[in-house]
Structure 1
Amino acid sequence: MSKRILVIGAGFAGMWSALASARLLDEVGRTDVEIALVAPAPELHIRPRLYEKNPGGMRAPLQEIFEAVGVKFIQGVVERIDVERHEVELVGVGADTSRRKLGYDRLVLASGSRLFRPQIPGLEQHAFNVDQVADAARLESHIFSLASRPESTARNTVVVAGAGFTGIETAAEMPARLREVFGKDAAVNVIMVERNADIGPDLGAGPRPVITQALTELGVTWKVGSGVAAVDATGVTLENGERIEASTVIWTAGARASALTSQIPAKRDNFGRLHVDRHLKVEGIDTIYATGDVAYAATDDEGNYAAMSCQHAMNLGRSAGHNVAADLLGEVLIPYSQPKYVTCLDLGPWGAVYTEGWDRQVKLAGAEAKALKTQINTEWIYPPSADRAEVLASADPRRIVVA
């Protein structure tokens, strides 16, 4: 009787989990295990690029890749996980409202993360974001529509709430994008708002001088030490009472793991991520692995843990996929390890800044770093071609992505 490995999610971690499982099955010559992946569509959303122009085009098709290595794609959205019965309940997409149950022998939870939206008055109704493809496309349409409005300070002002990685990349793009709409000589205002005392609080002090130089030269300003208290149709009010008139408010402040993690009876961190062992098995649950943004996973033996990032999701996916198949087949598991950590922060037309290490030592800045960022965003993070040999080789969990 055949067995089933079920992967939930077609993001970076889910895609690579399915492909890595297929790789091990091919390597040991097993044909009695089905690898099934459930997602709303057989496509990878290139989420790290959604701050850029044309976010609607940030999708990569996966059906041919899955077919090349024997991964079965199942269209749907998983709404319930029954850990005791080893099954999930999924509902169809769009007009398809049918429900069905699907059993599994091993489950890989790779359902990703979503933007954290606190209960701030007006946030849901009036703020934009770049979290998902549809969200970013809505923002782009809004920016284009501003040209039809009478010129005003509010029309020409964008407030970016949150000065973390996504907030900085988004803000750095905005002056040029606004001038494409209003004219190259338009007076535009892009203001970042950050509750912490510094911009880029999670990026540390290392790259901050480069970041502040770039933003200053781009004309981006920032207000720190006070977060957003309320959003309305004409701007934001800060916690300190200050008012900023703005027709565009973009919320970028943080992410939380998929709500599906709450259905797994296991320990979670403050972001909702499931605690996993070094093989990415959920602690205390023998049949479930967690990977990508839903996994609280150690990257090394020095106390560092994976970030909610594409960089970590890709390697986490390869490791989870290999190990879930190895566990089912009685093959050797390979501990997840990703000791080298880098960041490459896009700074719009100014360039970028590239750092290495958890202390984020700056190695490249400006045009040189921008060339690397462009290569990452347009080549490294995309799926392989639908060539079976290439797909299987690229799914090796020992593959070094960052050397």
Structure 2
Amino acid sequence: MAGSEHPRIVIAGAGFGGLQVARGLAGAPVDVTLVDRHNYHCFQPLLYQVATAVLSPADIAWPVRHILSRQDNITMLMAQVEGVDRAARLLLTDRGTIPYDFLVLATGATHSYFGHDDWAPYAPGLKDIEDATNLRRSILVAFERAEATDDEEIRRRLLTFVIIGGGPTGVELAGAIAEVARHSLAPDFKNVDPRTARILLIEAGERLLPAFPPELSTYTHQRLEAMGVEVLTGRAVVDCGADHVTLAGGERIDASTKIWAAGVRASAAAQWLGVEMDRAGRCRVGPDLAVPGAPEIFVIGDTSAPPPELGPIPGIAPAAKQMGDHVASVIAARVAGRPAPGPFRYRHAGDLATIGRNAAVVKLGRLQLTGFLGWVFWGLVHVYFLVGARNRFAVAMNWLWNYVTRQRAARLITGDLSGRSPAGRGETGATPTPTSPPSGS
């Protein structure tokens, strides 16, 4: 595209929102540069299935270059965004600067520990492939270490799994770990019974899945308990260490594996731009999703805070995709000299969460589904929205195999197993890693 006089559109983040903007500009008289620190697009709603050994990373990720290979007006660059020079209209990356005429920031979100970032090494979250594979290693190694020890206290700690946060991610993780322990691993160990594993789901609020109707929250709570998960609602975590969590009131739970699913915070986009942000660090934008006073800069997805008059917009994939479609139409209209479309309007299709085998909750307008029907609907929706026929086929076949045999096909322990926990116990063999920056939404 060297020497082109077309407007330069730079998109930061190849998640759901950024990818949708790029696709929406196919055929437009513009030069698009898509920047991401990864070379793949990850289907985040199924990350927990990588973490619990149902799927392999390649099942839910696809190379961005391949996705956009038929789009002639786009260049993909693998780089880490470091800032924005608004005056010079440059995106700053670790690979140099990229000039833009229009800039779209779709850099997503990362984990929020609500002022306790020192908990991050002990209770990692789940936002990308690296998080998922690290968590899978920690879960599987915990069972291996329990098999090898004769110390009952250490064994109990190793076989205690604490998930903090009762939203969809926490519910799905709790149910999946329970199925791994009760069924997939049960026949494979001789010195320890994986079915004795203790799985706790801790939610500071009064009920699970607060965005769902109360009756679906109650169903979820009851179904998890029937699967052997201990559900603690109205209990806030006040401390988290290498081998424990402490709840409000002083109750201590010894556990080697903790998983954070309690909150997110936006990327540093607002700081890069020097603009107003909300309490979650998201950029405040106008009705067209452009930054006030900078009509050439758009912020979408988890790092965007649209004005209240647009109504509540959840931080989920469909919302990011709709934002991407809107921004692409706004840019295309401006480039063509046409009137821009009206303000962004979010259309909420529904809420879904799976609990475990034959159990899910679905809210579609007035329609509510639970149990087997909800579970089938949840699966069909997720297979449909995967990128690429190969991924859809692979995921569907893995799910069928898992349903028939209860076996997890991706139970490989890879990576460095020599690390020790910060307390020096080395029980899980997983080296804590700091929270990584987000790549897109």
TM interval, short-chain normalised: 0.7 to 0.9
Amino acid of the residue matched to residue 112 of structure 2? F
| Cα distance per residue 1:84-117 (max 9 Å; x no partner) | 21111111xxxxxxx4111100001111111113
2-side partners of 1:157 and 1:9: how far apart?
36
Shift of 1:264: 1.8
Residue 90 of structure 2 corresponds to which residue in structure 1? 87
| Cα distance per residue 1:65-94 (max 9 Å; x no partner) | 323112111121110101121111111xxx
1-side partners of 2:99 and 2:226: how far apart?
56
Residue 90 of structure 2 contacts residue 97 of structure 2 at CA under 8 Å; is this kept in 1?
Answer: yes
From 310, 316, 329, give the equivalent of 1:322: 329
Residue 121 of structure 1 contacts residue 229 of structure 1 at CA under 8 Å; is this kept in 2?
Answer: no
SS in 2 for 1:72: strand
From 258, 265, 273, give the equivalent of 1:264: 273
SS in 2 for 1:153: helix
Residue 269 of structure 2 contacts residue 283 of structure 2 at CA under 8 Å; is this kept in 1?
Answer: no
1-side partners of 2:244 and 2:359: how far apart?
29
| Cα 1:298/1:312, change in 2 over 3 Å | farther
2-side partners of 1:341 and 1:83: how far apart?
36
SS in 2 for 1:150: helix
Q: Relative to structure 2, which stretch is displaced further, 261-270 or 211-220?
A: 261-270
TM-score with structure 1 length normalisation? 0.84
| Cα distance per residue 1:180-199 (max 9 Å; x no partner) | 23548622221111222222
Residue 351 of structure 1 corresponds to which residue in structure 2? 359
Shift of 1:310: 0.8
Residue 69 of structure 2 corresponds to which residue in structure 1? 67
Residue 275 of structure 1 corresponds to which residue in structure 2? 284
- 1:324-403 aligned at under 5 Å gives the runs 324-335=331-342, 336-357=344-365, 361=366, 363-382=368-387
| Cα 1:107/1:142, change in 2 over 3 Å | same
1-side partners of 2:334 and 2:277: how far apart?
23
| Cα distance per residue 1:3-51 (max 9 Å; x no partner) | 201000000000011111225x1xxxx3xx2111111233111111111
2:12 equivalent to 1:8: yes
1-side partners of 2:367 and 2:244: how far apart?
36
1-side partners of 2:385 and 2:276: how far apart?
33
Amino acid of the residue matched to residue 289 of structure 2? L
Amino acid of the residue matched to residue 326 of structure 1? A
SS in 2 for 1:51: helix
From 27, 42, 45, give the equivalent of 1:45: 42
Shift of 1:161: 0.7
Shift of 1:311: 1.7
1-side partners of 2:313 and 2:288: how far apart?
14
- 1:88-167 aligned at under 5 Å gives the runs 88-91=91-94, 99-120=95-116, 123-150=119-146, 152-167=155-170
Amino acid of the residue matched to residue 383 of structure 2? T
| Cα 1:22/1:80, change in 2 over 3 Å | same
Amino acid of the residue matched to residue 22 of structure 1? A
Q: Which runs of 5+ in 1 are unaligned?
A: 92-98, 386-403
Residue 121 of structure 1 contacts residue 231 of structure 1 at CA under 8 Å; is this kept in 2?
Answer: no
Shift of 1:276: 2.4
Amino acid of the residue matched to residue 79 of structure 2? G
| Cα 1:157/1:350, change in 2 over 3 Å | farther
SS in 2 for 1:306: coil
Shift of 1:369: 1.2
From 165, 169, 173, give the equivalent of 1:170: 173
Q: Which runs of 4 or more aligned residues in structure 1 lie more than 6 Å from their structure 2 counterparts after TM superposition? A: none
2-side partners of 1:122 and 1:86: how far apart?
36
2-side partners of 1:216 and 1:277: how far apart?
44
Q: Kindly report the root-mean-square deviation, in angstroms, between the aligned alpha carbons of the 2 structures.
A: 2.3
Amino acid of the residue matched to residue 354 of structure 1? V
Residue 143 of structure 1 contacts residue 178 of structure 1 at CA under 8 Å; is this kept in 2?
Answer: no
Residue 231 of structure 2 corresponds to which residue in structure 1? 222
Q: Relative to structure 2, which stretch is displaced further, 245-254 or 201-210?
A: 201-210
1-side partners of 2:9 and 2:96: how far apart?
17
Residue 244 of structure 2 contacts residue 256 of structure 2 at CA under 8 Å; is this kept in 1?
Answer: yes
Shift of 1:60: 1.5
Residue 112 of structure 1 contacts residue 292 of structure 1 at CA under 8 Å; is this kept in 2?
Answer: yes
| Cα 1:384/1:7, change in 2 over 3 Å | farther
Residue 257 of structure 1 contacts residue 271 of structure 1 at CA under 8 Å; is this kept in 2?
Answer: yes
Residue 241 of structure 2 corresponds to which residue in structure 1? 232
Residue 392 of structure 1 corresponds to which residue in structure 2? none
1-side partners of 2:278 and 2:115: how far apart?
21
Q: Relative to structure 2, which stretch is displaced further, 33-42 or 50-59?
A: 50-59
| Cα 1:124/1:41, change in 2 over 3 Å | closer
2-side partners of 1:65 and 1:49: how far apart?
19
Residue 282 of structure 2 contacts residue 304 of structure 2 at CA under 8 Å; is this kept in 1?
Answer: yes
| Cα distance per residue 1:349-382 (max 9 Å; x no partner) | 142110034xxx5511111111121122222243
Residue 284 of structure 2 contacts residue 307 of structure 2 at CA under 8 Å; is this kept in 1?
Answer: no
Amino acid of the residue matched to residue 336 of structure 2? L
2-side partners of 1:160 and 1:247: how far apart?
12
